Chain A
Amino acid sequence: DTGVSQNPRHKITKRGQNVTFRCDPISEHNRLYWYRQTLGQGPEFLTYFQNEAQLEKSRLLSDRFSAERPKGSFSTLEIQRTEQGDSAMYLCASRPGQGQLEQYFGPGTRLTVT
């Protein structure tokens, strides 16, 4: 399977706990995005990486959120001190590179904060 993969697919955590999600983009895609999708809504942009550099962060990304992409391959999204409002589907997408516009999404990680 050469698509975008995300792990875990589901995560249930208690309020106040920290969680970390992983995204493996399509091989050789050096652009990577994180989006968040709540029930009944379209995905909303969170952050963008070009290779290992985090070039843009949305105002949605509070200080409790951090994302990394060491070595420009896989990426991780960490949420510290989770809140019930963090419950959502976290989607990762990748894009080949300069001038290539198509973004390909992974299956997402469904986070439930109890």
Chain B
Amino acid sequence: QQQVKQSPQSLIVQKGGISIINCAYENTAFDYFPWYQQFPGKGPALLIAIRPDVSEKKEGRFTISFNKSAKQFSLHIMDSQPGDSATYFCAATPVTNSGGSNYKLTFGKGTLLTVNP
């Protein structure tokens, strides 16, 4: 059972465009949602994260939108640059009602983003 579903699997955008990656989750106990960026041969790097008490969080060119009722969240990359070309992963974990989950992350399968110059 895939608890976090990520789409699209791959995405190509032009420089300066907006990249949008979507994730949906099933476990209603999830209440911490980070996004990670991974370059080939490197470990995932934390980009931005959100808790359900807000519907949107923005850090620079990166914005998370969160829809609790739909159990969906998305990453928007504004003014996409070739240097943003990487694989992006959404993740989730229960915090408030962790039930001993130890905050282990459940990841989506990733989105390979290519930004053309």
Contacts and interface: CB of A to CB of B under 8 A. Distances in A.
A102 B102 contact: no
Contacts of B34: 101-103
Interface size class of B (residues with CB under 8 A): 20 to 34
A85 interface: no
B43 interface: yes
Interface in B13-70: 32, 34, 36, 41-46, 49
A106 B41 CA distance: 11
Interface residues of A, number: 26
A55 B102 contact: yes
Interface stretch (A12-20, A37-45, A62-70, A76-84): A37-45
Contact of B107 (A6, A42, A95, A110): A42
B46 A104 contact: yes
B49 A107 contact: no
Nearest to B89: A42
B86 interface: no
Given A42-B109, A56-B102, A105 B45 contact: yes
Contacts, number: 63
Nearest to A107: B43
A48 interface: yes
A55 B98 CA distance: 14
B40 to A, nearest CB: 11
Given A102-B49, A104-B46, A95 B103 contact: yes
A60 to B, nearest CB: 12
Given A40-B110, A42-B107, A48 B45 contact: no
A106 B43 contact: yes
Contacts of A4: 43
B52 to A, nearest CB: 13
8 contacts: A33-B105, A43-B89, A43-B107, A101-B95, A104-B46, A105-B46, A107-B42, A107-B43
Interface of B: 4, 6, 32, 34, 36, 41-46, 49, 89, 91, 93, 95, 100, 102-110
